[in-house]
Structure 1
Amino acid sequence: MSNRPLRIAMVAPPWFELPPRGYGGIEAMCADLTDALVARGHHVTLIAAGRNGTRAQRILRAYDVPQGPRLGEPLPEVLHTAATGHLLADLDVDVVHDHTLAGPLLARGRSVPTVVTTHGPLDGEPGDYYRYLGDSVHLVAISRSQRAQAPDLNWAGTVHNALRAGDFPYRREKEDWVFFLGRCTPDKGMHLAIDAARAAGREIKLAAKCSEPAEQEYFKAEIEPRLGPGVEWLGEVTGDRKKRLLSRAHCLLFPLQWEEPFGMVMIEAMVCGTPVVTLRRGSVPEVVVDGVTGLVRDDVAEVPAAIEAASAIEPRDCRDHVIEHFQPDTMAAGYEAVYRRVLAATPDPTPLTGAIPTQRDMAPVA
């Protein structure tokens, strides 16, 4: 088992196809992980919705059409989970890797282990949910910060998210404006980004998903009153347009107001050679190297000065950092090590402090 290829059932949420054409961070991660695992010689059966744009050798579906328009409704997730249980009953796999919310409820009745990536925050009810599941699931955190929110859970490892550097343009020459990219929610701090850009005398471009009622309420209360000269609202941007904006910006502004579990936008900016100006919250210290790939500050009042100081960051260092630490094969090596530890009933040796091992440290566990 320590050397042979593994048979993995990869369970994605039902909301977007893999890879997603626009919004869909979990689906993008699942797609990259699937491709990297196949490249490492493993057999992956993908359980997802819509077309299969991955290298998975087999795809099984509960929904032929992704259910993105129904995001937030309970039934698509529940039906997808029920269908997954039915489909897995006929599969011969070594491990199930589930990225859904409801799917882990079926883990206790399986004869093979279920690995679950915890993609969101773990305070309050989410943490209690995984506590009730107990040792029926083997949890993987996407950052040490996330894991530290609930250190008592049944952790099997910590593996950072990743992206394919070749899919993003690198640009050394930057323009004068700053960029905000994320969701239109208070915890992302878009209103603070506007205030900081104005204080620094810089124009700011805002790109954010703003489709759900809570997002629209925040926009109307905090963002709309701040629009005007020097503040450009772009709405949701995806694909090549998003990548071009990231590569051109003087810096990415990310004034977090919560304990961000990972923050894909940070590595998306850095891989384009664009430094990140952010606050010391959540996973930030694990992702951004202060003074090398961005500037990490403790107080929002320090952000305007950091915007100006970002011009001293070397763009090539930003991209190289992502290539070294946040590539899909590094992520797949981490998950392969988790699968083999779980199958061998070996505890996670990774400490809660210090650097997370890179790919060269992640030889399969015997």
Structure 2
Amino acid sequence: MRLSQTDARAPYAELAANSRGRLFPEPPSRTRNAFARDRDRIIHSTAFRRLKEKTQVFVAHEGDHYRTRLTHSLEVSQIARSLAHALRLDQDLAETVALAHDLGHPPFGHAGEDELQLQMEPWGGFDHNVQTFRVVTKLEARYPEFDGLNLSWETVEGVVKHNGPVGHMLDRPSWRAIADYAKDWDLRLDSFASLEAQAAAIADDIAYNNHDVDDGVQAGLFTLADLADVPMIGPILHQTRKDWPDLNERMIRLEAVRRMIGAMIEDVLSETERRLADDGIQSVEDVRRARRTLIQFSDPMMADLGILRKFLFERMYRHYRVNRTRSQARRILAEMFQLFMAEPEVMPTEWGVLAATSDPHKRARAVCDYIAGMTDRYAIEEHRKLFNLDLALDL
């Protein structure tokens, strides 16, 4: 039975009034609760603004209609709020974790992450989830009292653990920053995060599966006809054409994607309600001590999504046009990383000072942080200035 829609929160919802607070105590805001305040700090951050020109699948300058990390994050936040509303959770916290979840992505999407991991392998590695954590706890420099954004405990926990417990990952060099942080502020790394954070995580899956279908068709990497035999989207396309026989292909695509998002949300709500009931979840502590993720797709939906993801991997993520961009992106980041490691004095002053150290680990991390913060466009232009003599002479 669908949960009743009332203003009352569910007993397992997080309450801003019960927040564990901030690492650096601050007076409460007169206009916002703790989670809404976190959301606003994320929206005003430099890292969030830069998402507008960071790759989702296509490099940000390739077209105006394709998703970027910013538009993706906004879509994730909308779906997360919808799920939180239906499940009677805290919508502000779900939205906040959703808006923050990709702040640590480097330029050029997963190609950029793969290259930074390769370059940083001798120096502690790179992981975009850990980089997101470092952005909100250290790298954002906006307040005189502290580094980072000084977010509430529940938001930081959600950023770190939205995909599940992470205690088993702490022996990875790239996760050392989180392990060290948790010594001073226990994030309960072996437990699950809040349902609000889990809503943000599943919203990410819903958003990217649907907008990758939309973007892939728009980019000409595959057609709607190619999707006819793919589970879920194929039947939805068939039914959409049956309902609207005179509709053009563009509107068929948009209506089918809209229906697919709705179907995935309905599946998540039904499966989540079943799990909450079966597992006897009655409190936020029950959520953290749960034996499994509670906000999840059903098994049949997971099977269908597996086939869809296989299709997208073969026809989109590894399409030769995308591969060419990935190859160029990796070369750009590799050449800049190696140059900055050898000559930190060519970096902008504020970063060059951090990289001008005899400790190669600290230098590599400073170089990595600088590159990870770049937008696609800035990385391309910076590379041209560094490796094109004619441009360098114009500086």
Fold agreement, TM-score > 0.5: no
User: Relative CO higher for 1 or 2, CA cutoff 8 Å, sep ≥ 6?
Assistant: 2
Q: TM-score under structure 1 normalisation?
A: 0.26
Q: Which has the higher helix share?
A: 2
Structure with the higher fraction of residues in strand conformation? 1
Give the structure-2-normalised TM-score: 0.24
Q: Give the structure with higher Rg (CA).
A: 2
